[in-house]
Amino acid sequence: MSISEILNKVDPSPLPQAQEPQEAAALTHEEIKLLLAAEGEDKKKLFDRALQVKLARLDNHVHLRGLIEYSNICTKYCLYCGVRSKNPNFERYQLSDEEVIGCAKLAHQLGYGSVALQSGERSDKAFVDKITYLVKEIKKIDNGSLGITLSLGEQTEETYRRWFEAGAHRYLLRIEASNEDLYYKIHPRDAKHDFHQRLACIDSLLSIGYQTGTGVMVGLPFQTLDDLANDLLFFKKKDVAMVGMGPFIPHPDTPLWQYRDQIPTAEKRMEMTLKMIAILRLMMPEINMVAATANQTVDPQGREKAILAGANVIMPNLTPNEFRENYLIYPDKACVKDQPDQCQTCLDVRLAAIGHKVLYNAWGDSVAFTKKH
């Protein structure tokens, strides 16, 4: 089967003029692999089609989530992550309540519409109570006008429910690798890093009614094209509302650093991420997909490239600058020195240059999720 035949099968009416978008046909594992391996003209056709499908379904709108990196205190030690608890090489911090609320107010002033609260993983009572409080406080800003996404790792179903009832309505929990064997090559094999527990968390989030997001890193050591194809099929099977994927970036203070010479080049990891985004846009045309900051770290144009490949969400960092250097999940993270208002101008200009525009003052919910519920 040629790439054109596969693309036509997925979406026969991708143009904005099409009246009723037809339901996308399902892609098989083999077809996804062929698309992942596309080069030259074929690769260009894939990216062109993904952009057409996105523009037809979601227009040229980009949604913003003001990112608040609440704390780098973490009880886990994933083998890839720079803020893992076993890395003593930087200071641990937790923002004060005033700092968090200040960030959220700034997001509101800047017209971002939503905030995303992210943190190292903790599940003690003090943490759970604090987050409940902060969610409620953020909800008070301008009568609940800010949407709230949480990205706070694995928690009990009860905790997830409490935070949902407090006002959070989106939750991001990347599966990181949907292949159990690969999962245990990038996580310690212990009770704290249990693959089935992680799956169960994603299922809880879905059943509680969160717009649930998941995702993987691309270009991990030991990861194959079969793994990547299965990751995409996993997102489809779970019918998630949001996906975040970014290139793996080796961090010198982590165990996976030792494999840095055995993974694809940064350029290849970036390109594979873009293909993953493009193919998923064809498979799940109306979900929200983030142009992850990791893309921009690997390539200064990375975020724009991700938007052109099919992503529609950007998470500008609102964390006070003095803390950002201590939230280096991976090295050389982009925008660590930018001020929030600089970010905004920079984003508007960069997006206009590629024919996109920020939709200000809107929650920017996943269209796929809204239609389903």
Stretch that binds ligand FES, among 9-17, 75-83, 110-118, 255-263 (CB under 6 A): 75-83
The distance of closest approach from Cβ of residue 191 to ligand 5AD in the complex, given in angstroms and rounded to an integer, is: 19
Number of residues that bind ligand FES (CB under 6 A): 7
Q: Is 328 in the site for ligand FES (CB under 6 A)?
A: no
Is the CA virtual torsion 181, 187, 189, 195 positive or negative? negative
C-beta of 237: minimal distance to ligand FES in Å?
23
Q: Does 83 bind ligand FES (CB under 6 A)?
A: yes
The site for ligand 5AD (CB under 6 A) is made up of 80-81, 174, 176, 217, 246, 248-249, 251, 294, 329-330
Partner whose binding site includes residue 83, from ligand FES, ligand 5AD, none (CB under 5 to 8 Å by kind): ligand FES
- The 10 Å Cβ neighbour count of residue 44 is 12
SS3 for the chain, per residue?
Answer: CCHHHHHHHHCCCCCCCCCCCCCCCCCCHHHHHHHHCCCHHHHHHHHHHHHHHHHHHHCCEEEECEEEEEECCCCCCCCCCCCCCCCCCCCCCECCHHHHHHHHHHHHHCCCCEEEEEECCCCCHHHHHHHHHHHHHHHHCCCCCCEEEEECCCCCHHHHHHHHHHCCCEEECCCECCCHHHHHHHCCCCHHHCHHHHHHHHHHHHHHCCEEEEEEEECCCCCCHHHHHHHHHHHHHHCCCEEEEEECCCCCCCHHHHHHHHCCCHHHHHHHHHHHHHHHHHHCCCCEEEECHHHHHHCCCHHHHHHHHCCCEECCECCCHHHHCCCCCCCCCCCCCCCHHHHHHHHHHHHHHCCCEECCCCCCCCHHHHHHC
Sites for ligand FES among residues 111-140 (CB under 6 A) = none
**Total Cβ atoms within 10 A of residue 158:** 10
Is 78 near ligand FES (CB under 6 A)? yes
Looking at beta carbons only, is 31 or 154 nearer to ligand 5AD?
Answer: 154
**Partner whose binding site includes residue 76, from ligand FES, ligand 5AD, none (CB under 5 to 8 Å by kind):** ligand FES
- Asked whether position 251 contacts ligand FES by CB under 6 A, the answer is no
Residue 217 binding target from ligand 5AD, ligand FES, none, CB below 5 to 8 Å by type: ligand 5AD
76 binds ligand FES (CB under 6 A): yes
Choose the contact partner of 74 out of ligand FES, ligand 5AD, none; CB within 5 to 8 A by kind.
Answer: ligand FES
x/- map, 12-51, ligand FES, by CB under 6 A: ----------------------------------------
- Name which of ligand 5AD, ligand FES, none residue 318 binds, using a CB cut-off of 5 to 8 Å depending on partner kind: none
Q: Which one, 295 or 366, has the nearer CB to ligand FES?
A: 295
Taking CB under 6 A as the criterion, the residue among 63, 84, 108, 236 binding ligand FES is 84
Nearer to ligand 5AD, 84 or 356 (CB): 84
Q: List residues near ligand FES by CB under 6 A.
A: 74, 76-78, 81, 83-84
